[in-house]
Amino acid sequence: MVTLGGVDPGFGPRDDLRHWPAPGGKMRDSLFWELIMPEERLGMQIYLYLTDRGKTGYNVSVWGPGTEPVALKLASGGVPADMDFDNFEFQGLTVKQPELRRSAEVVFHDEELTIEYTFAAIHDAFSYRSNPDGLPAWFAENRLEQTGRVTGFIDVGGRRIEWDRMGHRDHSWGNRNWGIPHHWKWFVAYTESGRAVNGWIWIAKGEWGFAGYVVKDGVTVPVSHIKHKASYNEDMTQRRLDAELIDIAGESTHLVLDSYGVVKLPTNDKMATEIWEAACTATIDGEVGAGQFETHWPTPYLQHLIESKA
C-alpha cells in the first residue's frame, strides 16, 4: 500500500484510540462507519462521539427512498475514563479494533435492528493534512479516512442482507466550530474492483478548500482540487453530484453520484447546522459502484434557498 505525496499525516501508533486534551483544554473524538447498498435501495451509517469528560452518544441510521428512515437509533450518556475504542460498549453498540488503522468490528443490536460490520482496510489511513489545502483547525486536529472491505450483515424490517462488499469509515478528533463553514460537500464512492475516491469540498471565511484521495491500482493519491456541479430537489436534498477530482500527480478522476435516498442527521448544535446524507449509485470513470454524498448547511440559509426556490 503506497500513498503519494510524502506528507506526514500526523498519526501516532495509538491515534485510532481515544484522545485526551492538553491541560485545561477539551477533546472530542468522532468515529463513523458506512455502507451503501444500491441494489437493496438502502444506506447505512453508524456515528459515535466521545468527549474527554466521558460524554458519549451515537446515531445509527438506515435509510432508503422513503420520507422517513427505515431505522434511526439514538442514544446519549456517559462512559468511564478507561473506556476506549479498542473495546467500547454503550447501549447496544460495541466497537473493537483488532489492528488499529486496519480493522474494526462494529456491532449494534436492539429489538428492531441488528448490524454486524467487520471492516478491513484496502489502503493506509489517509489524513486530510496530506492534501495541499491541509486540514482547517475549525474542523479537527486530525482526521483519518479509509475505504475497505466490509463483511457481516444487517437485519432490519424483516430483511436480512449479508455483506461482502466495499464500505468506508473515518475518525476525527478535536473540537469542531460548526459556525465557521458556510457549506461543505463530503463524499465517498467505491467499486468492487477496488477503485475508491473520497472528497471534501468546503467554503469558510469566503475561501474554498479541497481534500480527499483517489485509490487506483493499490496506490492512494491525495486530491489537489475538485471541479464539481451538484443538483438538488425542491427541498434542497441531494439529487446528483458530478465531480472531477484532480490529484497531486495531475491525473483526473470522474465521479458521478445519483441519490436514491436521503436522511437528515440529528445534529442539535447551537449553530442550527443541518447535515443531510444521500445514499447513491456511483460511477468512477464509468465503472459502476456505490457512494455517499453529504451536505452541510446553516439552517437559516437552507430555508431561504428552499423558500425562494433559488
189 to 1, 32, 142: CA distances (angstroms) = 19, 15, 22
Report d(CA 13, CA 11) in Å as an integer.
Answer: 7
Mean pLDDT of the chain: 95
Segment among 171-175, 188-192, 272-276, 277-281 with least mean pLDDT: 272-276
pLDDT tens digit sequence for 117-164: 999 999 999 999 999 999 999 999 999 999 999 999 999 988 999 999
Residue 211 has pLDDT above 80, yes or no: yes
Residue 169 has pLDDT above 90, yes or no: yes
DSSP states of the chain: -EETT-------TTTTS---PSTT---EEEEEEEEEEGGGTEEEEEEEEEETTSEEEEEEEEE-SSSS-SEEEEEEEE--TT--TTEEEETTEEEE-SSTTTEEEEEEE-SSEEEEEEEEESS--EEGGGSTT---TTT-SEEEEEEEEEEEEEEETTEEEEEEEEEEEEEEES---TTSEEEEEEEEEE-TTS-EEEEEEEEETTEEEEEEEEEETTEEEEEEEEEEEEEE-TTS-EEEEEEEEEETTS-EEEEEEEEEEEEE-----TT-EEEEEEEEEEEETTEEEEEEEEEEEEHHHHHHHHHHT-
Mean pLDDT of 217-243: 97
pLDDT tens digit sequence for 78-108: 999 999 999 999 999 999 999 999 999 999 9
Residue 193 has pLDDT above 90, yes or no: yes
- Cell 486540514 belongs to 135
Residue 310 has pLDDT above 80, yes or no: no
For residue 13, the model assigns a pLDDT of 85
Mean pLDDT of 22-44: 96
For residue 237, the domain's CATH number is 2.40.370.10
Q: Comparing 179 with 174, which gets the higher pLDDT?
A: 174
Domain that holds residue 193: 2-308
| Residue 33 pLDDT class (50, 70, 90 cuts) | very high
Residue 8 has pLDDT above 90, yes or no: no
Q: Comparing 233 with 3, which gets the higher pLDDT?
A: 233
For residue 29, the model assigns a pLDDT of 98
For residue 212, the model assigns a pLDDT of 98
Segment among 8-12, 66-70, 202-206 with least mean pLDDT: 8-12
**17 neighbors 144 (Cβ within 8 angstroms):** no
For residue 125, the model assigns a pLDDT of 96
Per-residue HEC secondary structure of 70-120 comes to CEEEEEEEECCCCCCCCEEEECCEEEECCCCCCEEEEEEECCCEEEEEEEE
For residue 267, the model assigns a pLDDT of 72
What is the identity of the amino acid at 236?
M
Segment among 46-50, 269-273, 292-296 with least mean pLDDT: 269-273
Q: What percent of the chain has pLDDT over 70?
A: 99
List the one residue out of 171, 307, 178, 184 whose CA is nearest residue 238: 184
| Residue 187 pLDDT class (50, 70, 90 cuts) | very high
| Residue 214 pLDDT class (50, 70, 90 cuts) | very high
Number of compact structural domains in the chain? 1
| Residue 309 pLDDT class (50, 70, 90 cuts) | confident
For residue 16, the model assigns a pLDDT of 96
